[in-house]
Structure 1
Amino acid sequence: MKDCTIYKTVDIVGKKWSLCILHELYKGEHKCKRFNELKNKLQDVTPKTLSTRLKELEEHGLVDKIVDDTVFPIKSEYSLTESGEEFLHVLQNIKQWGLKWQFENPECGGTNCKTCEL
């Protein structure tokens, strides 16, 4: 099992909050989001978990951390990498599966996740 690509991939993106973090980084007009912005959108995530997941997603090349040390306090922003952007296609497929087999949500089905306010 340790060499199975599915197991390895799930180990990266299957941890609690990882998919939601990627989704929040995708949403909205701004490509970059600050830590507190993500924390406010993901209301139930703890700061420690959010920090850990962001580091893991950065290590695996799905998220970029941009640090501006020319200002005080130092400003850090997070954005999706090309790999992270491409992974959003997987999330869209998950959404379509959920709408087809699990949830009746016409509003969500007719909404582009990029512009979703939920």
Structure 2
Amino acid sequence: MKECAVYVKDCTVYKTMNIVGKRWTIHILLELYKGEKKEKRFNELKRKLGTITPKTLSERLTELEQEGLIEKNLDNSTNPPKSEYFLTESGMDFIKIIMGIKRWGLKWKFKNKECEKAVCKYCDI
């Protein structure tokens, strides 16, 4: 059994899921992708995500920044300082995986005419 634990610890899929598999992570990435404005403030994300707690949102944003999927711009010229979050190249690349999840869901699980359109009004992908 110990040998199996070593493989899991070293597995790229497991490591990746430890980054993106936490609750709200994919939702946050998707919200940062959606819309014309690609930079979003904390309260804007909180409002769009609805039931996420400020603590969880703060934790996920910090984790995503540490993992290089998002960046934070901090404008100290305002009082209070203004922070905006946006996807990095790595984060934008992960949006393709989210699109793949959508295609799988439409093929195997869900009938959704809106999501079958070229750009869905719900997820913008």
TM-score by length of 1: 0.95
1:51 aligned to 2:26?
no
State the structure with bigger RCO (CA 8 A, min sep 6), 1 or 2. Answer: 1
Which residues of structure 1 form unaligned runs of 5+? none
Aligned partner of 1:104 in structure 2 is 111
Structure 2 stretches of 5 or more lacking a match?
A: 1-7
Q: 2:97 aligns with which of 75, 86, 90?
A: 90
**Percentage of pairs with the same residue:** 59
Pairwise CA distance, 1:101 = 0.6
Task: Provide Cα deviations, 1:27-61, integer angstroms capped at 9, x if missing partner.
Answer: 00001000000000000100000000000000000
Root mean square deviation of aligned Cα: 1.1
Q: Equivalents in 2 of 1:20, 1:38: separation in Å?
A: 10
> Where do 1:42-81 residues align within 5 Å?
42-81=49-88
TM-score (norm 2): 0.90
- Largest Rg, 1 or 2: 2
- AA partner of residue 43 (structure 2): N
Runs (4+) of structure 1 exceeding 3 A deviation are none
Q: Partner residue of 2:23? A: 16
